[in-house]
Structures are given as structure tokens and as C-alpha cells.
Chains A and B, each alone.
Chain A
Amino acid sequence: MSLIKVTIDNIEVEVEPGTTILNAARKIGGAVVPPTMCYYSKLEGSGGKCRSCLVKVAQGSTKDPRPMPKLVASCRTAVMDGMVVQNITSPEVMENRRAITEFLLLNHPLDCPVCDQAGECHLQDLSYEHGLVDTETVEERRTFAPIDIGDKIKLHMNRCILCYRCVMVANQLTDQRVHGVLGRGDHSEISTFITRAIDNDFSGNMIDVCPVGALTDKTFRFKSRVWFTKPFDAHRDCPKCSGKVVLWKKGDEILRVTGRKDKYGELEDFICNDCRFEHKENSDWVIEGPRKIERHSVISQNHYETEVRNRSNQSQ
């Protein structure tokens, strides 16, 4: 099939028909790539929900050059030949993205100092890049008590942004989904079917797909801030999955095992619970070497704490 041309923030790129605006932008790479809090390329039907990837379509296509009347979710909108898209070059997009960030933070506890995800949290990154320094909300936040869903996974519903990724993991990767979204609106919650434990070979992946610290690994040993651990690529012969993982080590100790994430924070392969939860000795693994974290984030830049300090200075 012949390629079609699309222009994003004045940069032209050729992609296959059917490609989304987001993936066309990812093909260009760099600053023109919209942030994604719910889309996950490996999960069918994901995206469209968080609205952080909204962009402006200034020209629909060569055939029909009219602009689209509203901002569109780039993760769920296919490109057309001759489409002209504005992301960071549109003040309207930037303003609305700021607003979306604010919406996402409205009920978020901002308990980063005690959250296991701090340093690798997409919401932290998003708010650093797009949020307001001076947050407007004085509103009370909704609160839920943290619960155990099974003996390996902890759910802090307060932090959930309802991206539905974990539900899709359960739907698409495991035999029987026992958890989903209960309730409606901002009182919705992720929960299991009549407090059933989530227990099957691939359920642990929901921890990795969760963009925030709502689902965390209870077996994370000797709780440590992520940026004090060092990631290593490693593998083992696993009958259930690819066995390709990242070991997060402090000194010689393996504190945590996760899947390998690309620069957009998406897993390259889903891994099984055996690898994730049951193999925390160096002798379990063939260590390939230190992993370069590509994702542009506060953790990889290793200056999370300076940024937090800067931000709190600014808001004074």
C-alpha cells in the first residue's frame, strides 16, 4: 500500500494508511509526540479516555482541507493524506492539555513522597511538563482505603486515573477477568469481583501498565525509592513468557523485577508472575548489563528532587 503524507508541527512524515496521529508523531519522535496516559499500543482498544493526547487538526486532508471542529484524541484518530496537525505549535492544544492535567490531578492525592511510583510516574511527568505551578484546587479529594488484590498486588485507588489499562490487561492477557471498574464518574473504582484475589500467571503486568502508583508490587523488597535502584536487563529460560525482564537492584540485591519498557513507558513483552514475583536471586538470572532508561522522565534525568524543589520554590 502506498504511504500517505501528514504534517505534524510543520514536520512532514510518511506513514501507512490507518496509522493514528499519535503513531505518526512517534515516527517523527521528540517534542512533537503527544503525552499518553491511557493509550497502550499493546492493548487492543486502549486510548481515547484520558484526553492528554488531544491535538488540533488544522487541515483534514488534501481532499477535504477543512479543519476538524474540535481537538481530537491523537491516539484514536487516523491520519489522512495531506492532514495537517498541530500539537505543541498550537496554543489551544497547550492550554487544553494544561487543563486536562489539572483534571487528572484534581482527585489525585499528590502523595508522591510516600508513593512507590514516584520517579517513574507518568502523571508526575505530565504535571511537570504541562501542569500549573500554582494549582487552583482547594477541593476535597475523594478517598479510598488501599486494598490488597491478592497477595502480590496493592491497589491505591486514590491514585488511579481510570485509564482502564489494567482492565484491558486482565481482559486480553488472562483467562478470567475478576476485576473491573465499579461505579460511575469520579466515584468509580477499580475493584475485584466480590473481593476475589487476582491470581493468574500474567496478572502482574497490570502493575507495569499502570501509569501511576495505583497498582504496585507488594513484593518490592526493602522498599526503596526508584531512583536509588539501578536497572539491569536480564533474562532466564521461562516456560511461560519470554523471560526478558529488568532487575531493579540496590547493591547486589534484587529489589524488584519488571518487564522492559520502551521510551513511551510501554512494555516490550508482557512477563509472567513467576518471573516477576518469584525470582529475586541473582542466580535466577542471566544479567545482560545495565539498562538505559530511554523514557524522557524525571527518573532518567535523575534530577527529580531538584525539580520538586524548583517547583515548590516557584509556588511560594
Chain B
Amino acid sequence: MAQQILLNNIEVPGLASFDVYRKLGGYTSVEKTLKNFTPDEVTAEVKKSGLRGRGGAGFPAGMKWGFIDKSTNNPRYFVCNFDESEPGTFKDRHIGQLNPHQLIEGMILGSYALGARTSYIYIRGELFYVLRIIEKAIEEAYANGFLGENILGSGYSLDLYCQPGGGAYICGEETALIESLEGKRGNPRIKPPFPAIVGLYDCPTVVNNVETISALPWIMNNGADAYSAIGIANSKGTKLISACGHINKPGIYEIELGLPVEEFIYSDQYCGGIRNGNKLKAVVAGGSSVPILPAELILKTAKGEPRLMSYESLAEGGFETGTMLGSGGFIVMDDTTCIVKNLLTFARFYHHESCGQCSPCREGTGWMEKILQRIEDGRGTMKDIDLLVGISKHIEGNTICPLGDAAAWPVASAVRHFRQEFEDHVKLQKCPLSK
């Protein structure tokens, strides 16, 4: 069994309560850190650990903290992104629901490092039942002196709130999240300026993912070196993978980064192979936004090397033959799957979730959905296939926020790797896999 950092005690009954969590060594990192580390030393430690953002982009966490503007007298904010809405991604909910104190502990560490006095957990509206669990945990943390005035007599004070959103995917984009948190319509902001300079209420702000933040207690307890000893190359530590689709054992797995993809799919410790002994057809490795890869390219890179579950290895080959680790939403499809139909499902999602601010995304996402619907229904033309790729190219890179790219990449990659299947739909005037 690989090292477990995040899911270590996840099966302990009552872990969500303060007492059980505390008995298992919970909150010791706060005691240790407030006593022995200055805020800048915490940042340095996180930098050294090599921890990267687990929300999708994989940006080094310590480096992001280092950008925060500490030169003004304005308040600084630390915000947890708990909007988790990417199709295929369901790992943060697991932490929030079963181990909320680990997240709160991480929030205290991050807030201390950044000098934040007020911090927020922004949670997706549909997760109201998780909101209740977190709110109860926050209350317990206050009652036990880990939140509020003068924490453990250190002189450091912190207020923590959990704020539900309305349930919009776009509010997971960090600047849209900030707008929403301010009580406004969740439209992404135009960057620069970045939140580290102008964020929540125009003050310096860091937004991190639930999983990123939940790794902090372990890092402060065991040290940066211990963390960076886990993993491979620039992919340090462990990563939660939410695996779904046509596998025998869908679920949430904590893997050591660098695990071979083949082992992850076929080993009984993880996905346990493809259902019914079917053949693997394709994998979307990092949540619906990342390029889809056919079986040969997900198991091995174009160079013939085994593909690993790491930032670098999954990206090997660029967008031509590679993909991204993204948020860790691992969607597996066997040979009964229609790629066009799968893509249509994704396209419908992005069309529905576009905020509508910028024209390429607002108009292009709906256009792609219509064309895909046409092709899937057997009403498409060969010209439609190229049109689809053309639209995706004109969205990509031309939008305010990466939702546009996230809508374009799956389309471009599906046609790149499975063009024949699109053409078959057109030629047969129906889905070749439909009965």
C-alpha cells in the first residue's frame, strides 16, 4: 500500500468529530507551527515540499503563496476552493464529508503563513450536507481554541467561515469564486491583476483547492523533505484520484505520484481492471476538461515508455499525444462506449456552464453541442467534423478564463484520436454503436 497522507484515517468511525480527530493526532501541526515557525518559514517549508495545486492547474503552492502582496496594510485572505464540479471529479467532497478537521487544520496553517485573519471555505451549493458537517467542525475548532482570538496563546487570531455558492461550475474558477464570495454574479475577472495582488474585496488573496490545503498538516508535521521523498520528478507527494466509468472498482484512491497508469487501471488495489473483461478504449485522465487519450496512448507514451500518473508523464507528448493530470478525475471507457456521445455529454455541460461573458465561449460552446448532437443523431456531414475542430481552435486561447479551453480541448482531442468514429456516424447516418 502506498503512503497515505490524505485518506490515512478516513475509515475511522466518527473521524468528522473533533474528539476522534484529535485523538488520532489532529491539530498537532497547528501547535507545532504556531510555536516553532514564522509565517514566512511555513511558506518556505511548503515551497520546499514541492506540493502542487490539486485543483487542476498544478501550480506550485508555495510559489503561489510567495506572490502574495505583503507590502500593504490591507487584509489578506486565504480561500479554499470547494466548488468541485468538474465531471469525473469527486475527491474533495470525500475529504469534506469524512475528514473536515483535516481541511480546517490546513486552513489554519495556510492562513497563518499568509497572514490572513479571516478565511473562507467556498463550497458548491449542492453540497449543503457537507456544508453542515464543515460548519459543525468549525464550531468545534472554535470551542477548542484552534480558531478565534489568540489561538493557543500564540497571539495569532483567525476567523473561518464556510460559504455556500449557488452551484455553478464557473464559480470554481478562482476569480469567479471571488466575485461570488463578494456577493456578485460569478463572472471570472480579467487577469492580470492576479488574486495575489487584487483578490477578495480587492485585497491580496490566495485560493487553493481542498486537497492542496488538506496536505498541509502532514507536511508541517513530517517536514518538507519527507513529503518530497514521495512521488517522482516534479510531481511530489500523493494525489487523490476519483476513478469512474467502466472499471471494476470505481472509487477514490490515494496514489503516490508516479504510479504506472497500467497498474492503476488493472491492479486489484486500484481500479481492478475493465468491467466484464472488456477492452479498454479510452481514458479521460484528469477531469472532463483534459484531452481524451486512446488506450495505446494512455498506457504508453508515443515514445513507447510506460505512462505514469504524474504531471510530467501524462503531459508527455503535449496535446498531440499527451494529456494532463488535471484534477484527478479519471474516467475510463471500454469498447462499448461511443466517443461522440461521450463528447456530446461534455459539450452540453460546458455549454450549460459557460458564464457567457466572452463571445467565443458563450457562442462556441453551444455551437459545438449542436453539431455534436447532429453527428450523434446521424444528421451530420463530413464538413461538420472540420467545422467542429475549427470552432474549438477559435475558442482555445481566445477567452477570458480557461473554461473556454476546457470546452475546446476535449473536442479537438476526440476528433484527433477518434476521427474514424465521427466519420462512421456521418456515413452510416447513425451511431455505429447503437442497436
Q: Could you list which residues of chain A lie within 8 angstroms of chain B, going by C-beta atoms?
A: 47-52, 54, 69-71, 73, 76, 96, 99-100, 103-104, 106-107, 136-137, 139-140, 161-162, 164, 180-181, 183-188
Distance of A21 from chain B, by nearest CB (Å) = 14
CB <8 Å contact, B398 and A184: no
Contact of A70 among B353, B355, B397 (CB under 8 A): B397
Given A73-B190, A184-B168, A184-B352: A49 touches B357 (CB 8 Å cut-off)? yes
Distance of B357 from chain A, by nearest CB (Å) = 5
Distance of B366 from chain A, by nearest CB (Å) = 5
CB <8 Å contact, A104 and B356: no
CB <8 Å contact, A136 and B360: no
Name the B residues within 8 Å of A180 (CB-CB): 185
A136 to B390, CA, bound (A): 12
**Other CB < 8 Å A-B pairs besides A99-B394, A100-B360, A104-B363, 6 of them?**
A49-B357, A51-B358, A100-B398, A103-B363, A107-B363, A136-B387
Distance of A92 from chain B, by nearest CB (Å) = 10
Does any Cβ of A come within 8 Å of B278's Cβ?
Answer: no
Contact residues on B (Cβ < 8 Å of other chain), bracket = 20 to 34
* 5 shortest interchain CB distances as A-B pairs: A99-B394, A185-B354, A103-B363, A188-B356, A48-B190
Mask, B332-369, CB within 8 Å of A = 1, is 00000000000000000001111111111011111100
CB <8 Å contact, B394 and A186: no
Contact of A186 among B185, B351, B387, B399 (CB under 8 A): B351
Does any Cβ of A come within 8 Å of B170's Cβ?
Answer: yes
CB <8 Å contact, B352 and A54: no
Does any Cβ of A come within 8 Å of B370's Cβ?
Answer: yes
Name the A residues within 8 Å of B387 (CB-CB): 136
A294 to B229, CA, bound (A): 67
Distance of B396 from chain A, by nearest CB (Å) = 9
Give 6 CB contacts A-B under 8 Å: A69-B397, A73-B190, A104-B363, A140-B370, A185-B362, A187-B356
A141 to B238, CA, bound (A): 47
Contact of B366 among A73, A96, A162, A185 (CB under 8 A): A185
Residues facing A in B379-401 (CB within 8 A) are 387, 390, 394, 397-400
CB <8 Å contact, A161 and B353: no
Name the A residues within 8 Å of B367 (CB-CB): 103, 106, 137, 139
CB <8 Å contact, A103 and B354: no
Distance of B315 from chain A, by nearest CB (Å) = 16
Name the B residues within 8 Å of A164 (CB-CB): 357
Name the B residues within 8 Å of A181 (CB-CB): 185, 356
Name the A residues within 8 Å of B358 (CB-CB): 48-51
Name the A residues within 8 Å of B400 (CB-CB): 48-49
CB <8 Å contact, B362 and A186: yes
Given A48-B190, A71-B397: A184 touches B363 (CB 8 Å cut-off)? no
Tell me the nearest residue of chain B to A189, going by C-beta: B356
CB <8 Å contact, B353 and A103: no
Distance of A107 from chain B, by nearest CB (Å) = 6
CB <8 Å contact, B370 and A139: yes
CB <8 Å contact, B364 and A103: yes
CB <8 Å contact, A162 and B398: no
A69 to B402, CA, bound (A): 14
A188 to B354, CA, bound (A): 10
Name the A residues within 8 Å of B355 (CB-CB): 184-185
Tell me the nearest residue of chain B to A139, going by C-beta: B370
Tell me the nearest residue of chain B to A136, going by C-beta: B387
Name the B residues within 8 Å of A51 (CB-CB): 358-360, 398-399
Distance of B367 from chain A, by nearest CB (Å) = 6
A297 to B313, CA, bound (A): 53
Name the A residues within 8 Å of B357 (CB-CB): 49, 162, 164
Name the B residues within 8 Å of A161 (CB-CB): 359
Given A73-B190, A106-B367, A180-B185: A162 touches B360 (CB 8 Å cut-off)? no
A96 to B400, CA, bound (A): 15
Contact of B353 among A48, A50, A184 (CB under 8 A): A184
Name the A residues within 8 Å of B366 (CB-CB): 106-107, 185-186
CB <8 Å contact, A103 and B370: no
Name the B residues within 8 Å of A71 (CB-CB): 397-398
Mask, B145-179, CB within 8 Å of A = 1, is 00000000000000000000000101000000000
